[in-house]
Structures are given as C-alpha cells and as structure tokens.
Amino acid sequence: MNYKLFNSDITDLNVDEILESKIDFDRFDKDCQYDISAEFFNRDLQNDLLNESVPYEIKRKHYVFIRKIRDLFEKHDIKINKFYLMGTIMELNEKEIDISILKSVYSNKSNTVWPCKEIFIYENSKNRLDDLLQSNQITEEDYVSNLELLKDELNIYENEDELQYLN
C-alpha cells in the first residue's frame, strides 16, 4: 500500500495525524507484521550538490518521525518490524513524503535511516561492482565505466568543476 503526503514534512508536528486520515487501518491484517519505507524531500541537501564533501547526517528529527509513525501503527494494533527512512532531492518535490507499507519478511524491529537515498543506492551498487571486480568477473575498465554511469544516473559529482563541465 502506498500513500503520498503532499504539503507535509517529516518535521510537521501533526504528520502522524495527516497519515492517519489517509490510511484505512481496517485493511491491515492484525495477525501480520509490516515494514514501512518512507521517502521524504530532504531540504538539508537542497542547497548542496551530491558530492563527497556534503555531510549526510542522521538527525533527531528523523527518529522523531519514525517514532510518531510507529506509535500510530501501534495505536491501531499493527506491528511494524523494519522502518526505512530515505531522504531524497531527486524523486520528490519539496514538502512531499511517499510511504509504502508491505508485509514483513523480517522478525525483529529495526530502523534504517539514509538522509540521501541516492548515496544509499550508489553505495549498494558500488559494493556490487566492487565484488564483481574482486572476483574478476569484470575488468577494471568496466568497473570504472560502470561507476561513472552510476554517478551520472544519480547526479553524483565529485567536485563542482565536474558539474560545471557537464552543463
């Protein structure tokens, strides 16, 4: 189940009430457990380029949001295991939150916070490329080429000169 909150931010005091008004909690099986994935427009990244010098910090507001949403589901007797909170500046407009709720395949509770989804995707894909290179499944040239394609796809630049050159 997917829910999109417009004109909302994870720091809104009533974000849980806004979400509660959108969700039909009777549709959930109380005997099942669920995972939540929430993406939000991370204004902290808006003025910075996605590059290695930008600090991608996990802040108190991220955990306050997770606590509010977990409490909302607990209030309706729905168990949440994994909670993924991902910030982005590419896929959402400012003041948007996109929330997905799926049946869980996990058995314990945990929270994962990535202030920048693009870096999360980059890190995971880079790790796969690293493994392929280490196991000699790709050449070093293929590795570098794929890494550059990944950076271009996610608009990740190592310095401002690269960005200016591309424009």
pTM of the model: 0.73
Question: Both 93 and 15 in a single domain?
Answer: yes
Question: Both 79 and 152 in a single domain?
Answer: no
d(CA 167, CA 110): 41
As a whole number, mean pLDDT of residues 76-99 equals 90
Q: Any idea what DSSP says for residue 25?
A: G
Question: Both 91 and 105 in a single domain?
Answer: yes
State residue 29's pLDDT score: 94
Q: CA torsion sign, 65 to 69 to 75 to 80?
A: negative
Phi and psi, residue 113, nearest 5°: -120, 125
Structural domain of residue 11, as residue ranges? 2-115
State residue 162's pLDDT score: 40
77: left (phi over 0), alpha (psi -120 to 50) or beta: left
Residue 122 has pLDDT above 80, yes or no: no
Question: Both 96 and 135 in a single domain?
Answer: no
Decide if 37 contacts 100 (C-beta within 8 A).
Answer: yes
CB atoms within 10 A of CB 71: 11
State residue 71's pLDDT score: 97
State residue 50's pLDDT score: 52
Provide the CA 16 distance to its chain's centre, in angstroms.
18
The model's pLDDT over 23-44, given as tens digits with 9 standing for 90+, comes to 999 999 999 999 999 999 888 7
State residue 73's pLDDT score: 96
Question: Both 73 and 143 in a single domain?
Answer: no
Q: How confident is the model at residue 164 (pLDDT cuts 50, 70, 90)?
A: very low
State residue 124's pLDDT score: 78
